[in-house]
Amino acid sequence: MPPRPPVPRRSLLLAPALALTACGPATPAGSPVPSSLGAALAARRRALLTGDLDRAGAAVAADERGALRRADATALAAGLDDWAVEGLPSAVGSGEEGRGLLRVRVAGEARAVASGVAVRWDGALHLAADTPQPWDLSAPVTAQRVEGGVVLHVGEPSAVGREVAAGLADATARVDAAWGTDWPRGTAVVVVPRAADVTRLAGTGGDVDAVAVGLDADLADGAPAGVRVVLSTERFATLSPLGRAVVLTHELVHVATRATPRPPGAVVPRWLTEGHADHVARRGRDVSAAALAAALLADPGEPQVPADADFTATDAGRVQVAYAAAWTLVTSAARASGTPAVTALVRDVWTGTPLEAACTARLNRPFAEVVATWRRDVATGLVGWVP
């Protein structure tokens, strides 16, 4: 269940607490000393993409190069296919700090994933990104290329991780059927051992089954950066096989949605994106609608459209009601107007159309009527519903 808005990430092919402070460039023998920040970043990128670990760390202080080299080696073993810093201010002087985007992609990912990064050059390269990468967790990373993308197993590959790899193609096809194929249909799913590892890679707290991570930003080519899915064996093992398939599909719906350019100022209520992701992930599955919405059906009083804050509340019961309300509200609209109409509504709102106008255009009725129908559905206990 991905939190919105997405949080920045801290990464850089570095150990998580590694600060590249240096008393001099102390480069390996035979490696040229970069003369500027731009030269240092360009040299590091070239070296990484050719697998030259010595040159990749050439501008880093000697006492920190070992940790960096280990992270770089793990990244290359995982299929690192792109690494670059872009979007820095045009002139960052010696000793000054600039903010940019770190762009990272592994083989099997259709789009590079971005994170914010602080960069400084004072004769040595200083990089501090916003969350770690999978290879910063001090464990081997094994890449498993499959239809639909790539699964990055952090640590020893688990049965859950192999199941995720086997199910990625089906989850991708389900998203295609609802959303269309105009999204980066190559997703990296990072499988980590512990829920705490998910928190580290996502840069956010919360007890979640899975999360879509990556900074919402346009890359240099003008298209949105990609999104990864992160999940833990610890949490996923507690779900049924059907539950795991649903959660994976849910996250891929977020990947597809966030691949659509979103103009500044577009107001997208979280209930709409979460409810739509659950609707797509659950429709056609052999599950009980009443069981899925149990928290909402047991909640006293008239159902309320969830506020964004409800999805990140510290009260777990409030969060469960919010997700159940979002799913039933979107599914109620889809029962009346069809899934294609609801998906078109999500696209419209995501790209800047106000919700009220999108409801009128796509559902042929105002939002108040959509809510009234939903409340009647909930009042009947969702009798006759098939997700």
pLDDT tens for each residue of 150-174: 999 999 999 999 999 999 999 999 9
Give residue-wise pLDDT tens across range 273-327. 999 999 999 999 989 999 999 999 999 999 999 999 999 999 999 999 999 999 9
Judge whether 365 lies within some domain: yes
Asked if the model's pLDDT at residue 124 lies above 50, the reply is: yes
Task: List Cβ neighbours of 304 (8 Å cut-off, separation of 6 or more).
Answer: 325
381 is in which domain, residue-wise?
266-387
Asked if the model's pLDDT at residue 34 lies above 90, the reply is: no
Judge whether 332 lies within some domain: yes
Q: What tokens does 206 get?
A: 């919360």
pLDDT band at 61, cuts 50/70/90? low
Judge whether 5 lies within some domain: no
The pTM assigned to this predicted structure is 0.89
pLDDT for 32: 62
pLDDT for 3: 38
pLDDT for 30: 52
- Report the phi/psi class of residue 287: left, alpha or beta, with left for phi > 0 and alpha for psi in -120 to 50: beta
- Of residues 125 and 47, which shows the higher confidence score? 47
Average pLDDT of the chain, as a whole number = 89
CB neighbours (10 Å) of residue 206?
15
Asked if the model's pLDDT at residue 90 lies above 90, the reply is: no
pLDDT band at 98, cuts 50/70/90? confident
Task: List Cβ neighbours of 118 (8 Å cut-off, separation of 6 or more).
Answer: 97, 98, 99, 126, 127, 128, 129
Judge whether 369 lies within some domain: yes
pLDDT for 168: 98
Q: What tokens does 242 get?
A: 């059907």
Judge whether 376 lies within some domain: yes
Share of residues in the chain with pLDDT > 70 (%): 90
Judge whether 57 lies within some domain: no
The Cα–Cα gap between 198 and 209 comes to: 9
The Cα–Cα gap between 317 and 294 comes to: 11
Judge whether 294 lies within some domain: yes
* Cα of 194 vs its chain's centroid, Å: 17
Handedness of CA 178, 191, 118, 95 (dihedral sign): negative
CB neighbours (10 Å) of residue 150?
22
Q: What are phi and psi of 221, to 5 degrees?
A: -80, 0
Task: List Cβ neighbours of 248 (8 Å cut-off, separation of 6 or more).
Answer: 164, 167, 168, 171, 189, 210, 229, 231
H or E element that contains 296: helix 294-297
The Cα–Cα gap between 97 and 359 comes to: 46
Give residue-wise pLDDT tens across range 253-286. 999 999 999 999 999 999 999 999 999 999 999 8
Q: What is the mean pLDDT of residues 49-53?
A: 95
Range of weakest confidence among 3-12, 168-177, 279-288, 352-361: 3-12
pLDDT for 5: 36
Asked if the model's pLDDT at residue 20 lies above 60, the reply is: no
The Cα–Cα gap between 43 and 174 comes to: 42
Q: What is the mean pLDDT of residues 239-266?
A: 96
Q: What is the mean pLDDT of residues 353-378?
A: 98
pLDDT band at 386, cuts 50/70/90? confident
> How many structural domains compose the chain?
1
pLDDT for 263: 94
- DSSP assignments along 79-119, one per residue: TEEEEEEE---S---TT-EEEEEEEEEETT-SS-EEEEEEE
pLDDT for 129: 84
Asked if the model's pLDDT at residue 136 lies above 80, the reply is: yes
Judge whether 319 lies within some domain: yes
Considering only CA atoms, which of 334, 379, 385, 380 is closest in space to residue 359? 334
- In this structure, are residues 66 and 58 in contact, taking their beta carbons and an 8 Å threshold? no
Task: List Cβ neighbours of 191 (8 Å cut-off, separation of 6 or more).
Answer: 151, 152, 153, 154, 157, 158, 160, 161, 164, 231, 232, 233, 236
pLDDT for 207: 73
